[in-house]
Chain A
Amino acid sequence: MKPELVAPAGDLEHLRIALLFGADAVYVGGAEFSLRARASNFTLDDIAEGVRFAHGLGKKVYAAVNVIPTDDDATGLDMYLAGLAKAGVDAVIASSPVVLDRTLALTDLPVHLSTQQSVASSAAAEFWRSAGAMRIVLARELSLAELRAIRNNTSVGLEVFVHGGMCASYAGRCTISNYLADRDANRGGCAHSCRWKYRLLSDGIPVSDRFDFSLAAKDLEALDYVPALADAGIDALKIEGRMKSANYVAVTSRVYRAVIDDHRKGTLKPWDTYRDELAKAENRPAADGFLGGITSARHQLYEGIPPPRQDFLGHVASIDGSGRARITLRNPVALGDTIEMTPPGAPNSRFAVEGLFDGTGFPLSSARRTGEIVMIPVPQGTVQYAMLRKVN
């Protein structure tokens, strides 16, 4: 069985990139009913446009309507769900009974139950299946053995996270952000309080002079579990990160696509081959989460989160008649830099920056400002959405 690869998309551009780089489906959210409010700048028109693009490739778009609403938050929900149906999305991802039921009542859309419900057993999966869910995005606290057992005991579709950020708590059950920051994680405001600095006290006495106790989990990276998950009959593998960069979306989609396909063809390469490629995304330190069993110290971040790598320059937005790629700059670039280019569906290549211009065509020797439009001559055959990283 070949599992579906589901990738995050924070905007239309990320949606196109995820699908072009290998995802079978993307999940998107609007600003009002999604848990990634800041990441979710999709209007219904955007979603409709994204759906047209995805369906043109034979791929799918899932709409995250995964807020756990209060009565106030639910205002406008029916109209929004009807809008999603009209936009043509392929499923709604729901956390709350009201979203699940209203989707089923008002539309013909399938409902996927969000990981926010932390479903960790076949009994819970069956409960939600009986309520109408077609697919369950399982809790991130499950081992491979548990996933296999759940698969054997329920017929509902199962989706499993394989990459990206991990909550410290069972998802959906956490109010630390409410209590410490007046921000509500179940309504799109998580302050990531689990990543703040704490120190442990034993009977009121600090164990350390430093605030060095870790609640922060390393990210999940489960490349080498993909074959087993596929063989177990898991229906979909999910990448976390609607707030991540285009490069992250492209690289993770491309690498997990390769592993899924290579496993199916029996042509898997040494894991370092995939990991070397995956390392080109802006990943935080990662481990295998709960897939190998109960986590230990090696799954925790004790030294803080290292700053993100700064080699991603941007992606090719367009190419003009003189062979210059238009790029919205993410990190500094200068004449003479060497760039590695990752195009969708083709091998990486490298070239030197032999010319650099601002958006009006004025020559530059370097550019540093994030968001600045620059033009760089690129090799013939370069395609739109190719990722550009500095490698010198």
Chain B
Amino acid sequence: MRLVTPIRNDAEIDALKAAGADVLVAAVAGFSAAADAVRPAAAFAPLVLAAQAAGLEVYAAFTAPVHEDMLRGLAEAMKTVADAGVAAIVAADSACIRVAQDLGIAGRLIYQPGTFNSNRYDPAFFRSRGLKGVTLSREITLAQIVAIAENNPGIEISLVGHGHLPMFHSRRRFLSDDAEHRGNGVRPADGSRFALEEEKRPGRHFPVVEDESGTTLFRDRMLVSFAELPVLAACLSDFFLLRRFTDDAVFFAAIAAYRDPSRAAAFLAAYGTRCDSGFYHRKTTLAKEDRR
């Protein structure tokens, strides 16, 4: 199982390698939504060369929903990063699959919509469309993840297993709208870090980010997968880490702890109160009739 970590600038290559990363990933400018690390499509070629020199691979991520006016640029950007030699293109929108098929690069595509890939049939569906891999839904259990992976040997199965995962992405510009509504409100471009607090969950602050693609709301707690790592490592091809809202020191310590599980206890001792295990052991089955 490869550890896939965001890279914010080329100077981090050695440090990420030393921490234990196998693959470096960055989002492609113009096609990112609340991404950890973003760079222009043209900037992938030098990154690939530098990463390969260090023995690492590079993935390019297209994380934004794709609208019609993005299609021409999308095809150009996907071709550019493919020509640059990225090992995979990570895509959140099914439009990317069609474009990749047209470009003849579907075999390098990992479909990572965030949700959707939630049963053992889905990977087979995308395998039959020529894809390299699928990233499973972020709201299914460990047992479900294992069952899906074990039943799909013909396609790479991956998971976003660490960090503050998105809860939703909207095309609406909630922070800008709020500023407009208040008249004197804060602006998303202020450089501030914003969060939302829900009325009945005092003290829990959910990070919120607005960018050119809209607004993304994140979990307040960092998903960690140290306890589940042996199981995941046996069935996954890629394990993605997110680093947004995490200090570099904490993030690098996390990579190191996934690479060397003997460090996990120290990580959890230091940061465990900010972490949880997401939905690995918590199936969300309550219905509408159940009380909030």
Contact = CB atoms under 8 A, between A and B. Distances in A.
B155 to A, nearest CB: 13
A332 interface: no
A389 B226 CA distance: 60
B54 interface: no
Interface string B97-120: 111010000000000011110111
Interface residues of chain A: helix, strand, loop or mixed (majority): loop
Contacts of B174: 213-215, 300
A142 to B, nearest CB: 7
Contact of B70 (A70, A121, A183, A217): A121
A295 B125 contact: no
Contacts of A300: 172, 174, 177, 181
A125 B101 CA distance: 14
A122 B12 CA distance: 38
Interface string A207-222: 1100101110100000
A169 B71 CA distance: 22
B121 A295 contact: no
A275 B169 CA distance: 32
Contacts, number: 241
A176 B288 contact: no
A121 B95 contact: yes
B197 A206 contact: yes
A69 B288 contact: no
Interface string A53-74: 0000000000000001111011
Interface residues of A, number: 81
A131 to B, nearest CB: 8
What size tier do the contact residues of chain B reach? 35 or more
Contact of B284 (A130, A142, A183, A194): A183
B40 interface: no
Interface in B165-221: 165-178, 180-182, 185-186, 190, 192-201, 205, 208, 217, 219
A364 interface: no
Contacts of B119: 69-71, 73-74, 96, 98
A31 to B, nearest CB: 10
A120 B198 contact: no
Interface string B2-40: 000000000000000000000000000000000000000
Interface stretch (A18-26, A185-193, A266-274, A341-349): A185-193
Contacts of B68: 120-122, 146, 149-150, 153
Given A71-B119, A201-B194, A142 B94 contact: no
Nearest to B184: A207
Nearest to B102: A123
A198 interface: yes
B273 interface: no
Contacts of B290: 183
A177 B288 CA distance: 11
Contact of B287 (A118, A175, A183, A211): A183
Interface string A162-190: 00000011101111111111111011111
B199 A197 contact: yes
B99 A170 contact: no
A146 B69 contact: yes
Contact of A198 (B171, B193, B199, B284): B199
Interface string B227-256: 000000000000000000000000000000
A191 B289 CA distance: 10
A182 B95 contact: no
B279 interface: yes
B1 interface: no
B147 to A, nearest CB: 6
Given A69-B118, A71-B147, A198 B71 contact: no
Contact of B194 (A69, A174, A202): A202
A290 interface: yes
A199 B196 contact: yes
B67 A146 contact: yes
A181 B173 contact: no
Contact of A70 (B98, B113, B144, B185): B144
A299 interface: yes
A106 B119 CA distance: 19
A302 interface: yes
A237 B229 CA distance: 48
Given A121-B67, A188-B287, 6 more contacts: A123-B95, A168-B170, A196-B198, A197-B199, A200-B194, A201-B194
Closest 6 CB pairs of A and B: A169-B168, A97-B125, A123-B95, A98-B121, A127-B98, A124-B95
Interface of A: 37-38, 68-71, 73-74, 96-98, 101, 117-124, 126-128, 130-131, 139, 141-142, 146, 149-150, 153, 168-170, 172-184, 186-191, 193-194, 196-204, 206-208, 211, 213-215, 217, 290, 294-297, 299-300, 302
8 contacts: A120-B68, A146-B67, A168-B168, A175-B139, A191-B292, A200-B196, A203-B193, A213-B196
